[in-house]
Chains A and B, each alone.
Chain A
Amino acid sequence: MEDVKLKYTGKIREVEIGVGDKKIKVGGQDCLNFHTFEGVIPNPPVISFEVWDSIPEDWPESCLVPYKDVINNPVEWAKKCVNEYSAKCLTIFLNSTDPNGLNRSVEEIRPVVEKLVEEIDIPMIFWGTGNVQKDIDVLKMVCEVASGKNVGVGPVVDKNYKQIGASAIAYKQVVVASTPIDINLAKQLNILLLELGVPENKIIMDPTIGALGYGIEYTYSVMERDRLAGLLQGDDKLAFPLYCYLSKEVWKIKEVSIPENIDFKLGKEKERGIMFEALTGILLLLAGADIVVIRHPETVKLIEKLIMDMK
């Protein structure tokens, strides 16, 4: 059966996040995810935990329960992920800076970022609100404060890549380049970042995702195409690790929060939510994800076990 194994010509770039003995490497594989029978995957996919800098308003109860005691303290929250759930990577959501929400200023959140950088020794990715202007100020501050820590910053988009990119270059941070479910836009932004001078081992792609039932098939196919282009067609402008912020999309969909007593056919609410998150995660991993952001600790366990089993 040797002749039905694929002959890959490309390789996904390896990107490091964090420093010291807890840093992680993502990418580096020369085959599709889980296809170890025909290639080498030096770094299995990584799960990143969610930590918010403000109290989440729209999380279902089952996701709040594990974090109730730390929900208003991002530093303690981060520590809990590390100490209790053995997190290997965190995504810090700076949602309090949202101009449509609490609208905290850069100076207001700076101390929290400083404290996180000082006290947390595992790799972190700092995530803005998607507000093009505000994210420039917020993420530039993060780049500066986290100097020497090799953190990730995103979402970096075509409208603010110059400003955030420049800061990331200056402070040697990793850029997470975000584009709306489109292979050409993704490639274009990578090219712009490379031209700007972002080193090629400092770029991660965020293809933007739709959850199970809410457009996952589009993301799935775009990511499969990204990967096949990078691995089989030698398109090295797409051969960067893929980052998927899926928890946000999964836990806001209505079918996840319908109580069992409203429709018994939907089954147990908590497990249903975990299943939606896990299946979304599995599909994105099959399609090529290198980092998946997961919210529920039980989903993490399930996906972690699968990643180990497939190693």
Chain B
Amino acid sequence: MALKPLDIFKYLPKTNCKECGYPTCLAFAMQIAIGKADLSQCPYVSEEAKQQLASESAPPIKTITVGNKEKINLGGETVLYRHEKTFYNPPGIGVLITEDMEDAEIENEIKNIVEFKYERVGVVMKGEFIGIQDKGKGRFIELVNKCYQTGKNLILISDNVQNLQQSLDLCKDVKPIIFPNDTKDEILKLVKEFSLPVVVKGENLDELAQKVDKIKNYGIEEIILYPENKNIKEIFKNIVLIRRAAILRRIKNFGFPVLTIPAFLTDNYLEEGIYAGIFIAKYGSIILLSKIRGEILFPLLIERLNIFTDPQRPMTTPEGIYEIGKVNENSPVFVTTNFSLTYFIVSSEIENSKIPAYLLIQDTEGLSVLTAWAADKFNAETIANLVKKTKIGEKVKKKVLIIPGVVAQIYGELEEELPDWKIILGPREASHIPTFLKSVEL
């Protein structure tokens, strides 16, 4: 939670010694509040004050970091709705391997979670977790070892202390999450010894809160809540109430990341995908599926990317030349701004037209066409500069440049700036591009 400058100021020595690099203690406090300075820059602040401040400024939901090669933050959220600020830490998505699955099936799922990666707007999207469930078949350790080799983050679902102990000897460096059915003492001892996160389950919130108390008394601080239920309606209710209790009431026992397992809710993998889709938007921190299939994983990863986009900072596409379809020297050139949505929509409409074209993207700091034009960041001059800078003219013979219909005002000036190009005014709406391309004389 963001602290106000005065909340911070009260812990400072108020001597204005300037040793922190700022003229006064108050100025220093203001810089800390906006995240530009760190309390440790003050040599005089007491250890106690540091701790106090850290706990006051901690997000109402604890951030738990797991993993080694593929580190991931869980929790750390501060709001109920993304428009209030943003959601910070996208839920980890993974697959649940159980000991009673066929070997070939296990191999396949492990292969899929490792191989299925997708790139979008410069972000690599992939699943991060493997959950391994002990069913007493004697090969838990073998499976843990297999999954550990992938470098993915692990959740060890077992009540067998010996199995857990042996697994940890293998994989403790990825900081696996321990998920016992029953929080018995020997397991908690192990969790504490290795400083690992532990999953606490409960069918209702009272049960969860009580169990969290017990575990906290053990000195375990990293807890993951699992609202267990067979019924999606009940889980939804509990998960919403947990988030509200943490954010609105700052009830500490609910201020933890939440585990969800759609794999346990249905045998239909499409339905499972839908439940996962709900948990991405509504407050899941880990989502375990029964199988990793591209037709489910890919849309879910896109949903996650969308929902966890910072609403205060639009996503952008890098400036440059994009080829849509099999372009050649007679292909027309479209130009637009680098707001990702603009890029996606324009590029997919050109694609829909089945007429290959170049798409020139100008860096407008993520502004859409009209906004960028109004801010004077997308005009005849900037477009002409981009055309020259990218040397797009060397790729085409006919030199046809299509500009967005909404910036008709710059048409004349652009003709003057680019005398060897034929400038064409495109449609006002991207959805009219296919019709436009079919009717226009290029």
Is A215 interfacial (CB 8 A cutoff)? yes
Contact of B270 among A221, A225, A265, A271 (CB under 8 A): A271
Q: Are A275 and B248 in contact (CB under 8 A)?
A: no
A302 & B270 in contact (Cβ 8 Å cutoff): yes
Q: Which B residues between 295 and 311 are near A, CB-CB below 8 angstroms? A: 295-300, 302-303, 305-307, 309, 311
Residues of B within 8 A of A36 (CB): 233
Q: Is A213 an interface residue (CB 8 A)?
A: yes
| Cβ contact within 8 Å between A1 and B293 | no
- Interface stretch (choices A20-28, A111-119, A303-311): A303-311
A218 touches B245 (CB 8 A): no
- B172 interfacial by beta-carbon distance below 8 Å: no
Contact A228 B81 (CB under 8 A): yes
In whole angstroms, what is the CA distance A215 to B430 when docked?
14
A184 to chain B minimum Cβ distance, whole angstroms, is: 14
Residues of B within 8 A of A3 (CB): 249
Interface contact B274-A265, CB-CB below 8 Å:
no
How does the 8 Å CB contact mask read for A20-45 relative to B, with 1 for contact and 0 for none?
00000000000000111100000000
Residues of chain B lying within 8 A (CB to CB) of residue A213: 120, 299, 302, 305-306, 344
Which of B233, B245, B271, B351 sits near A1, CB closer than 8 Å? B245
Q: Is A194 an interface residue (CB 8 A)?
A: no
Contact B348 A275 (CB under 8 A): no
In the complex, the chain A residue whose C-beta lies closest to that of B436 is: A100
CB contacts under 8 Å to B, within A214-240, are 214-218, 220-221, 224-225, 228
Within 8 A of B (CB), among A1-16: 1, 3-6
Q: A265-B115, A302-B274, A306-B274 are in contact. Are A221 and B81 (CB under 8 A)?
A: yes
Is B296 a contact of A309 with CB atoms below 8 Å?
no
State whether A218 touches B341 (Cβ < 8 A): yes
Whether A265 contacts B432 by the Cβ 8 Å rule is no
Which of B134-142, B211-219, B235-243 lies at the interface with chain A? B235-243
Distance to closest chain B CB from A235 (angstroms): 15
Given A214-B341, A271-B295, A275-B295, A310:B307 Cβ within 8 A: no
**What residues on A are CB-neighbors of B309 within 8 Å?**
217
Size bracket, chain A contacts: 35 or more
| Interface contact B341-A282, CB-CB below 8 Å | no
Q: B232 on the interface (CB 8 Å rule)?
A: yes
Q: Which of B232, B294, B305, B341 contacts A310 (CB 8 A)?
A: B232
Q: Is A274 an interface residue (CB 8 A)?
A: yes
Known A-B contacts A267-B296, A267-B297, A302-B274; the reply to A212 vs B240 at CB < 8 A is no
Considering the chains assembled together, what is the distance between the CA atoms of A265 and B294 in angstroms?
A: 5
Q: Is B244 an interface residue (CB 8 A)?
A: yes
Q: How far is the CB of A239 from chain B (nearest CB, A)?
A: 18
Residues of A within 8 Å of B81, CB to CB, are 221, 224-225, 228
Task: Check if B244 sits within 8 Å of A4, measured CB to CB.
Answer: yes
Q: Tell me the interface secondary structure of chain B in the complex.
A: helix
Beta-carbon contact of A266 and B295 below 8 Å:
yes
Question: A216 vs B280: C-alpha distance in the bound complex, in angstroms?
Answer: 14
Instruction: Give Cα distance in the complex from A58 to B244, angstroms.
Output: 44
Indicate if the CB atoms of A217 and B277 lie closer than 8 Å.
no
Within 8 Å by CB of B274, from A37, A101, A279, lies A279
Q: Is the CB of B351 within 8 A of A254?
A: yes
- Whether the pair B294, A266 counts as a contact (CB closer than 8 A) is yes
CB-defined A-B contacts under 8 Å, sample of 24: A3-B249, A4-B245, A37-B241, A58-B352, A224-B83, A225-B81, A228-B81, A252-B348, A254-B351, A255-B302, A265-B294, A267-B298, A268-B295, A271-B293, A271-B295, A272-B295, A275-B296, A276-B299, A278-B270, A279-B277, A283-B303, A305-B271, A310-B233, A311-B233
Q: A278-B273, A311-B233 are in contact. List 17 more A-B contacts (CB 8 A).
A: A4-B241, A6-B244, A212-B302, A213-B299, A216-B303, A218-B341, A221-B311, A254-B351, A255-B302, A265-B115, A267-B294, A268-B295, A272-B299, A275-B273, A282-B281, A283-B303, A302-B270
Could you tell me which B residues sit within 8 Å of A by CB distance? 81-83, 115-118, 120, 205-206, 231-233, 236-237, 240-241, 244-245, 248-249, 270-271, 273-274, 277-278, 281-282, 293-300, 302-303, 305-307, 309, 311, 341, 344-345, 348, 351-352, 432, 435
